[in-house]
Amino acid sequence: MAISLRESVEIGLADIWTRKVRTAVTVVGIILGVMSIMVVLAIVNGMNKSTLQWMEERGGLNKIDVHRNWEMDRKDWSLASFSLSELKLIRSLIPEAAAFTPEISDRSTGITKGELYFQTSVSGVFPDMTIVDEWNISEGRFINYFDINNSNNVIVLGSKAATELFSNHNPIGEYVYMQGQALKVIGIMQEKYLKMQGGWGGENALEYMNRRAFIPLTTMLHKISPNQTIDELSIKASSPEKALKLKTKLENILLNLKQGKKLFEVSSIKEQMDQMKQNSLMFTVIFVLIAVISLLVGGIVIMNIMLASIQERTREIGVRLAIGARRIDIFIQFMVQTILITTLGGVIGIVLGYAILNMVGTYLSMELVASLSMIYAALAVSVGVGLVFGIMPAVRASNLDPVNALRNE
């Protein structure tokens, strides 16, 4: 009949209370270890979350981009573009793609309206752009195939572009000018917003997208900037997995189309995402390792202090044995005490970790994601450290010879 766990806990708590300073010194290592685990995991979780958000705002994991291969031969430079008939051919070869749009950007001209001049990036696109980028219209309509076929003089403005040019007036049906062409405003894009991480360069990480404007690809090619060529494509697959397959297929199609010359680079956002996850995993592993090392050091410190404490309390152990404590009772007493100390350290570490996360989060305006499972993990780790490093001192205490222990001064 061993003493109950409740009694062991009572004895342990009383010991911790009587030896407050010693306990405080003992748990510092555990506190630091648990704290660093908390902070690192929260930072990594936060980074993953904001990366994912960024990717999603940019069109999601289904998106594939085709752009010029910057490593190609200079003499092939003029070949690296698509004609409208080549676009049709490519589209017909990838019927499984959910959406398809080429893109030509003019960053030099800007938009004028009377005296007002708004410097921006205007893109010539297909109607599918709204699907590829998962970016919808908030007012009016987007470019349609009728506009494409007729090279209509229409324009869709980003939300920032609209307010810069028209302030509070409704721009729909009004005209703006590019290269002497009057373009009728037919729609306004939804506002894009993503909280800036790290607090530099303004509030909204996607503000540059709200400054953009879109016109039909054909209008861009035939009326606004005839010297431009089509060298960028955006394609949407039906799922992230299919995006990887579609990417390979597109690479082959483009190679065949351009006589085996690798003039274009095909990249999938899913792939980029996986790469980023791999990088952040390495980061996580390194920092968790550092935290584990500090927990190990903390554990060794606790073991050392428990051994010293048992040395000091040899006589008490002798008395307990003399009045009927069994070895298992002594073992449990010291085991429970070690675990109580490490758990105490764990709890303090979690609380301090949270405080630090709050401070760092506000100061750097960074998103830090602390989850309940992290708290459970931190608690489990601190109990585990107590279990592992408590065994040796507890065994030593329970193996003391009663007579020798009583003689100890």
Which positions touch other proteins (CB under 8 A)? Answer: 1-3, 7, 14-15, 18, 315-316, 318-329, 402-403, 406
β 175-178/154-157 pair status: unpaired
Between 139 and 316, name the residue whose CB sits nearer to other proteins.
Answer: 316
Between 268 and 309, name the residue whose CB sits nearer to other proteins.
Answer: 309
- In which region does residue 291 sit, left (phi positive, over 0), alpha (psi from -120 to 50) or beta (all else)? alpha
Cβ 31 to other proteins shortest distance, Å: 25
CA–CA separation, 391 and 384 (whole Å):
11
Cβ 311 to other proteins shortest distance, Å: 16
CA–CA separation, 259 and 73 (whole Å):
14
Cβ 317 to other proteins shortest distance, Å: 10
CA–CA separation, 46 and 95 (whole Å):
38
CA–CA separation, 123 and 101 (whole Å):
11
Cβ 1 to other proteins shortest distance, Å: 4
CA–CA separation, 121 and 106 (whole Å):
6
Between 55 and 406, name the residue whose CB sits nearer to other proteins.
Answer: 406
Cβ 5 to other proteins shortest distance, Å: 13
**DSSP symbols for 4-16:** PHHHHHHHHHHHH
Q: Are 340 and 9 in contact (CB under 8 A)?
A: yes
Cβ 288 to other proteins shortest distance, Å: 39
Backbone angles phi, psi at 80, to 5 degrees: -85, 65
Between 10 and 241, name the residue whose CB sits nearer to other proteins.
Answer: 10
Between 18 and 373, name the residue whose CB sits nearer to other proteins.
Answer: 18
Between 2 and 79, name the residue whose CB sits nearer to other proteins.
Answer: 2
**In the numeric block, which tokens belong to residue 135?**
């970016």
Cβ 327 to other proteins shortest distance, Å: 6
Between 1 and 372, name the residue whose CB sits nearer to other proteins.
Answer: 1
**DSSP symbols for 31-66:** HHHHHHHHHHHHHHHHHHHHHHHHHHHTT-TTEEEE
Contact residues for 325 (Cβ-Cβ < 8 A; gap 6+): 3
Provide the angle, in degrees to the nearest 10, between the axes of the packed helices 314-322 and 327-363. 130
Contact residues for 247 (Cβ-Cβ < 8 A; gap 6+): 64, 266, 267, 268, 271
Between 286 and 328, name the residue whose CB sits nearer to other proteins.
Answer: 328
Cβ 335 to other proteins shortest distance, Å: 17
Cβ 341 to other proteins shortest distance, Å: 16
**In the numeric block, which tokens belong to residue 154?**
């229409």
Between 270 and 320, name the residue whose CB sits nearer to other proteins.
Answer: 320
